[in-house]
Chain A
Amino acid sequence: MTHLAEQRERAEASGVHHLTVLSNDEPARRARRSWTLALATLGVLAFALSFSQSWWKFTLYAPQYPHGLRLEIALTGLQGDVHEIDMLNHYIGMRHLVQAAPIERAYASYGVAGVCFAVLVGILLLGRRTGRLALLPALLFPIGFITDSFAWLYAFGHQLDPRAPLHVPPFTPQMFGNGQIGQFMTFAEPALGFWLSVVGVALVAAAVEYRQRAVCAHCAHAAKCKDVCPVHFLGNPGKLEKSA
């Protein structure tokens, strides 16, 4: 029986059926490590890149704005026809856009750095049972943005100054697709930053899954151990085998 077949059998016997059993030789291990780290790094890179991009964009069309008014939301601020949109919003008593999400914008850089850090630490150090938790900070990143943005849109549309010249019933500006406010046809959609974060999540998910499935089968302890061993994942299995 070859070493590999022996391992597979041991694994089957210990009920660890889902583990992909791969060759245990050094080049194969190096390749597995490299793929996992490369995917995770690319994912983190996508997150980092998204920091400097707009995450969401709104376009407003009206007869007197034939080319549309644009508003782009990035993690640290707003871009586009902010002045003009504020001017229009003042008619219905909406607050200035710059007053939205001040804390989020101030700490956005730490947030992104934190997410990147947490993802990498998770990939490197988590065990098999907790391995998928590495995806959590990544996943929370775009979801958190959407949730927070929606909350702010809701707040802005529901806290209108009662002394405004125009009285409109409270509303939540459309966050996806077409909407209509007065003479404005609005269109909202995710922008490059958001899509980068989604790509980042996908890459991190791939890294986590790959690591999760591929790491343990070659280990001499695989039969007994139900955890992915971080030391083993990064370290030299040869030494471990010897000690076994």
Chain B
Amino acid sequence: MLDPSKFLADPSAVNVAAAAQSEVALGDPKVIARDVNVWYGDKQGLKSVSIDIRSRSVTAFIGPSGCGKSTFLRCFNRMNDTIEGARVDGTILLDGRSIYDPDLDVVELRARVGMVFQKPNPFPKSIYENIAYGPRIHGLARNKSDLAQIVETSLQKAGLWDEVKDRLNDPGTGLSGGQQQRLCIARAIAVSPEVILMDEPCSALDPIATARIEELIDELRANYTIIIVTHSMQQAARVSQRTAFFHLGVLVEEGPTETIFTNPSDKRTLDYITGRFG
């Protein structure tokens, strides 16, 4: 496999060897992508994208619809593998190690890189079972009380515990839209991921539920690396520390959120944020 250290622009930014084995310091690149291309059949959806995702922060991917941001998001947990005819090449490193490394099982990858989808998709099971699903299949709990503890912690971290603690056996599908999405976030948290991918998590929700989730994201970034795809620039501005602007499958510009929104370097970025297209 390729030597990751060759691909870092500034090798002094991180000690790759150390990163591969131990905890990554706050702000250091948690996920590194270099020259990533994605094809769906003959169509190329993503062209040569390179980016560093800082740990313990929120990175937002913005851009008009069809620009490839969701496609790129799905590369990080190899969900594109499940799509017929999709092909990915380039390098993606998680903690300095390629996610396509044969020694890294995709199951383990997906436990470390969780995902929340656009439309809340709770399983047709009880709230408890929805959260317990991940820990169960990965064998994370030694016994029932451990499992119950994990469920409670996850629901608390997702800010849902107080609302559902008395009805854990009710079906997950019976909750409101906003609650369902928080349930899905809790479900993702339950397997103790390091990175959480969020694909337009609020687009199906009303403003109050959206605000609630944005609050949650802000709390979560203390402990998780979060990448959020959003079509709302205001949301990106509110929630993220760094923003990446995509257009027609290309990463146009990436940097601190404030810079991107007040003083972008690329004209395309400026046109998008001023509403000239998209």
Are chains A and B native binding partners rather than an unrelated pairing?
Answer: no
A: which residues have CB within 8 A of B?
Answer: none
B: residues with CB less than 8 A from A are none
